[in-house]
Amino acid sequence: MAASKQSGGKKSSGSKELQVSEVPLSEKELKESFRQMLLIRRFEEKTGQQYQMRKFSGFCHLYVGQEAVAVGSTLAIELGKDYVFTTYRDHAHGLLMGIPAGEVMAELFMRESGCSKGKGGSMHLYNGKLRFMGGNGIVGGHIPPATGAAFASKYRKEGAVVLCLLGDAAVNQGTFHESLNMAGLWDLPCIYIAENNLYGMGTSVVRSHAEPDLYKRTECAYGIPGFQVNGMDMLEVYEATSEAVERARKESRPTFLEMVTYRYRGHSMSDPATSYRTKDEVGEWQKKDPIERLKIQFPGLFSEDYVKDVDKEVRQEVEDAIKFAEESEFPGQSEIWTHVYVDCPGYPKGDVSPNKYAFPYDEYK
């Protein structure tokens, strides 16, 4: 199968109204996708504001501008059955996998009611019951575990596929190449999605990659079909991912998808993003905004009044999430040892029942 720059799905320029009958999504699914993208946008905007107000600290990476990738790709899988691994830019994925907004915000605030019990923070959201295997702080560090999950699914005959979302910079990591070699060799049902927002921190892809068209790398090297997709179009993301999911389920074959997208904010909250790109560049990408694009594609579905109502609803959901986080307690001192050691006597010193500090696997089965 030759590598292609197209996802194979129906394309639209966004310049004309599409009919629901022309796309593989119902009116209800389109409206829910719009709501999800808007929720992510408002959640991230408020997250940035709360960070600047010093409501929480540490690393924080916002997803503003990339909403179509997360929404379109997760829409193509079976929640509760399939696995999702992602990077430290993980708030959107956690919300889409079913973690309540309050639990996500509480985790950012490092409170015990957070989805990782207040110990993970922004970069390490997690919920094993939902098969959301978390955000991961090491660039490319989650690619081997995602590949392992695909191997386990095939070995156990679960029928589950794995979405492994990674940044463009991770494509240069050794873990990427080792993992894709295994996936191609063993026919693993893993879909590797590179969210190519054009910059690895502050370094442009064209300066750091000998082959800046990332999708070209996998077919010749590992026998894994690669496709480049417009990551600012939720429909194209959905169709490309759906085809990859079908290939994984029916043929147990991996796919590599390069989703070309753009982050409007800096790499993290400590990055003003002013030294390595221009306002004109950001402005040009904002004209391709994924939320506005869906409105343009289906103006009959998204009237001005409807959009205002949805926006009001999601803004309130985010405000409620902040209130929930602020009213939650910090983890107690006794929690410092929990979820850390398994069968390690003497932690804390003299404790005769170390297993009580083990990670509660039964909670996440």
What residues contact 96, with CB distance under 8 A and at least 6 apart?
A: 36, 40, 70, 71, 74
Rounded distance between C-alpha atoms, residue 341 and residue 356, angstroms? 9
pTM: 0.89
Residues in the chain: 365
Burial class of residue 283 in the structure, from the number of CB atoms within 10 Å of its CB (0-12 exposed, 13-18 middle, 19+ buried)? exposed
Burial class of residue 160 in the structure, from the number of CB atoms within 10 Å of its CB (0-12 exposed, 13-18 middle, 19+ buried)? buried
What residues contact 249, with CB distance under 8 A and at least 6 apart?
A: 159, 161, 189
Q: What pLDDT sits at residue 22?
A: 74
20-331 CATH: 3.40.50.970
Q: What pLDDT sits at residue 349?
A: 54
- What token pair was written down for 106? 């509480």
Q: Which of 66, 244, 252, 250 is nearest to 163 (CA)?
A: 244
Per-residue confidence in pLDDT tens, the chain, 365 aa = 334 444 444 444 344 566 666 778 999 999 999 999 999 999 999 999 999 999 999 999 999 999 999 999 999 999 999 999 999 999 999 999 999 999 999 999 999 999 999 999 999 999 999 999 999 999 999 999 999 999 999 999 999 999 999 999 999 999 999 999 999 999 999 999 999 999 999 999 999 999 999 999 999 999 999 999 999 999 999 999 999 999 999 999 999 999 999 999 999 999 999 999 999 999 999 999 999 999 999 999 999 999 999 999 999 999 999 999 999 999 988 787 777 765 554 445 555 554 554 545 555 54
Q: What pLDDT sits at residue 338?
A: 77
Q: Which of 194, 182, 195, 166 is nearest to 254 (CA)?
A: 182
